[in-house]
Amino acid sequence: MNATCIFYDRKDYPDGAITELTIWQVPAPVPGSAHGLKYSLFYGYPGQRLVGYDNERGKGDHRHIGGREEAYAFTTVETLIADFIADVRTFRGAP
């Protein structure tokens, strides 16, 4: 069984920034994660990540804020997306 994309969304901002969210259902957890999802949530400019959430093989669930990387406690897809959007809004200076 292959990975199946269960969520995709992209938004282009007038200033050239983008958000791109992709979540896949995978047949077995990615090493370092305890759930059956693989995800990549990106905010930034082409070639410049400002906010990112992912579960890279071996690293598990983590997020990137500016130049900082830290562990992320994954609970649900809905919370993952809400946390990402909140960080993007904070980074953009929006309420």
Q: What is the pLDDT of residue 94?
A: 79
* pTM for this model (two decimals): 0.93
Q: What would the pLDDT profile of 31-76 be if each residue is shown by its tens digit?
A: 999 999 999 999 999 999 999 999 988 899 999 999 999 999 999 9
Burial class (CB within 10 angstroms; exposed 0-12, middle 13-18, buried 19+) of 76: exposed
Statement: residue 1 has pLDDT above 80: no
For 18, the token pair is: 């983008």
Give yes or no for a contact between 70 and 16, defined as CB atoms under 8 angstroms apart.
no
> What is the domain partition of the chain in residue ranges?
4-92
User: What confidence category does residue 5 fall into, taking pLDDT thresholds of 50, 70 and 90?
Assistant: very high
